[in-house]
Amino acid sequence: MNYYFITGSSKGLGKALVDLLLKNESNFIYGLSRTRSVKHERFVHAAIDLSKLDEVLSFQFPTLADVDKIVLINNAGVVGDVKRVGDIENQQIIDCYNLNLIAPTILMNNFVAKYKSLDCTKMIINISSGAGRNPIDGWNVYCSTKAGLDMFSQVLNEEINIDNTSFKVLSLAPGIIDTDMQSQIREAKSSDFSTLEKFIKFKEQGDLIDPNVTATQILRFVNEKELQGKVLCSVRELG
């Protein structure tokens, strides 16, 4: 069996990944999110608020048998308070760092500890963003969480190479996707976010990608060795 652990499995990109993976009878999925939207015999839901670190710390990866592949997809994320530094609510800073960066880091740490001795394909896919590689005003916290995820992935890759632990780690920018996150971005004030108009136009012009299309692209990175050459990658490489 192939086992997938997917955070943010209830909607948007995470839900599209779950729906696509469930089409293959060899896939079993653990979804981690606050709400549940999938019911399936090969889907187990863990109700967890990933911005609350005590809940993250209490999540235990299960002992698995008969494993061909295990994949952790750190997908849950929020853009957070789109505001200038000085105007951001401090609790929003804490919640956004917890959800976007600290929770994935703890999950990676526990995933590697639990499964390092398993003899199977072992992968971590961190859903990053172009915003972690290019600064966007008003998105200070979001950009820095994604940059942190990119760097953590690169350092983990160094360790994997040195220690020969046979994990594969990618930090993958998924492009612009037509999800609730984009609706939230469009609700920001232009005084807090100078490129608001550009994001409104993405929606109006039909530039936002259907999450099912993006999920298919992400699974190509999971399954095609030729796409796994660099830790920092983007669906835009697929052309």
Ligand X SMILES: NC(=O)c1ccc[n+]([C@@H]2O[C@H](COP(=O)([O-])OP(=O)(O)OC[C@H]3O[C@@H](n4cnc5c(N)ncnc54)[C@H](OP(=O)(O)O)[C@@H]3O)[C@@H](O)[C@H]2O)c1
- 77, 80, 138, 148: which one binds ligand X (CB under 6 A): 77
- 179, 199, 217, 235: which one binds ligand X (CB under 6 A): 179
Given a contact cutoff of 8 angstroms between Cβ atoms, the answer to whether 213 and 236 are in contact is no
Given a contact cutoff of 8 angstroms between Cβ atoms, the answer to whether 59 and 48 are in contact is yes
Query: How big is the CA angle at 181 (ends 112 and 235), to the nearest 5 degrees?
Result: 60
Query: Interacting stretch for ligand X, rule CB under 6 A, among 75-83, 152-160, 162-170, 223-231?
Result: 75-83
Does residue number 35 form part of the binding site for ligand X (CB under 6 A)?
yes
Does residue number 174 form part of the binding site for ligand X (CB under 6 A)?
yes
Does residue number 217 form part of the binding site for ligand X (CB under 6 A)?
no
Dig out the tokens for 61 from the structure: 């990866």
Does residue number 233 form part of the binding site for ligand X (CB under 6 A)?
no
- 12, 80, 138, 148: which one binds ligand X (CB under 6 A): 12
Does residue number 101 form part of the binding site for ligand X (CB under 6 A)?
no
Does residue number 114 form part of the binding site for ligand X (CB under 6 A)?
no
232 burial level (CB within 10 Å; 0-12, 13-18, 19+) = middle
**The residue type at 148:** G
Is 142 considered catalytic here? yes
- 50, 156, 160, 233: which one binds ligand X (CB under 6 A): 50
Does residue number 169 form part of the binding site for ligand X (CB under 6 A)?
no
Q: How far is the CB of 195 from ligand X (least distance, A)?
A: 13
Q: Rounded to 5, what percent of the chain is helix, strand, coil?
A: 45, 20, 40
Does residue number 176 form part of the binding site for ligand X (CB under 6 A)?
yes
Does residue number 157 form part of the binding site for ligand X (CB under 6 A)?
no
Instruction: Collect all residues with Cβ–Cβ distance below 8 Å to 72 and sequence separation of at least 6.
Output: 4, 5, 107, 108, 111, 123, 124, 125
How far apart CA 204 and CA 87 sit, in angstroms, is: 29
Residue number with CB closer to ligand X (99 or 121) = 99
71 burial level (CB within 10 Å; 0-12, 13-18, 19+) = buried
Which residues would be at the binding site for ligand X (CB under 6 A)? 8-14, 33-35, 49-51, 75-78, 99, 127, 129, 174, 176-177, 179-182
Kindly list the catalytic residues: 142
